[in-house]
Amino acid sequence: MTLTIALATARQRFTSPFRLVLLAFTFLPWHLGALLSHQFQVSSEVMLFGFILTAGVIGQEVSSGVLQLVFARPVKRWEYVIGRWLGVALPASALAIVFVLSLAGVVSLSGGALEWKSVMRALLEAPFRVFGISAVLLMFSAAVKGLGDLAVWAMVGIVGGIVGGFGGSRGWKWLARAAEELGNFLSPCLSWSGPFSGGTWPLQDAVAWCSTVAICLTIAIVLVNRKELSYGST
């Protein structure tokens, strides 16, 4: 059932003309910049694919009344949540990988210097960035209707930035550290800089990334389980 939900979710996201336009325009600025600068630089921009496909993944279902119809069938709610997550994270990760490879191709064809280590690192980090941000947005989407998950994510990020700046100006390291951890939670990433610079594999970062994703999915499942849906009118 999880696979069925994932496939249906992916199909649904790619039948939205607005999302397709956003996905197409995501490629343009960075590829044009790479063509002009002859430099390969990829970091958090790959998360845009996760944003575009995940935004409103549950909240819009609640607003439109589709969720009531889904749960009127023998569908376990945890399967629904995991299926929705995989249905957006997998295609978004595939797009992120295509983005990295095509960007490397543009730099190479334009005569720019291209280091295979940078490309491999970007290819490894991209899926983790996408799966991470998709889990975070899924959690927020389970809490609010429509596209409110984007607003919640932005508001929490802004508040975290303000709190971090305040803590830094006051010399309160604990507050600045807490704001930094909040930022890491909102944009989870597993950095592969260590293995490609002669260091060790980031085991601590891997544990942190897995914990963030697990927490977000668990909260999303709990929120969906607690939803009281009306299946008809009297």
Residue 35 has pLDDT above 60, yes or no: yes
Segment 72-127, tens digit of pLDDT? 788 888 999 999 999 999 999 999 999 999 999 998 888 877 888 888 989 999 99
Segment 168-193, tens digit of pLDDT? 888 888 998 999 999 999 999 888 87
Q: What's the whole-model pTM score? A: 0.89
Measured CA to CA, the distance from residue 25 to residue 119 in angstroms comes to: 22
CA dihedral 32, 35, 38, 42 (to 10 degrees): 40
- HSE of 165 in the Cβ direction (CA atoms, 13 Å)? 6
- HSE of 124 in the Cβ direction (CA atoms, 13 Å)? 16
Residue 231 has pLDDT above 60, yes or no: no
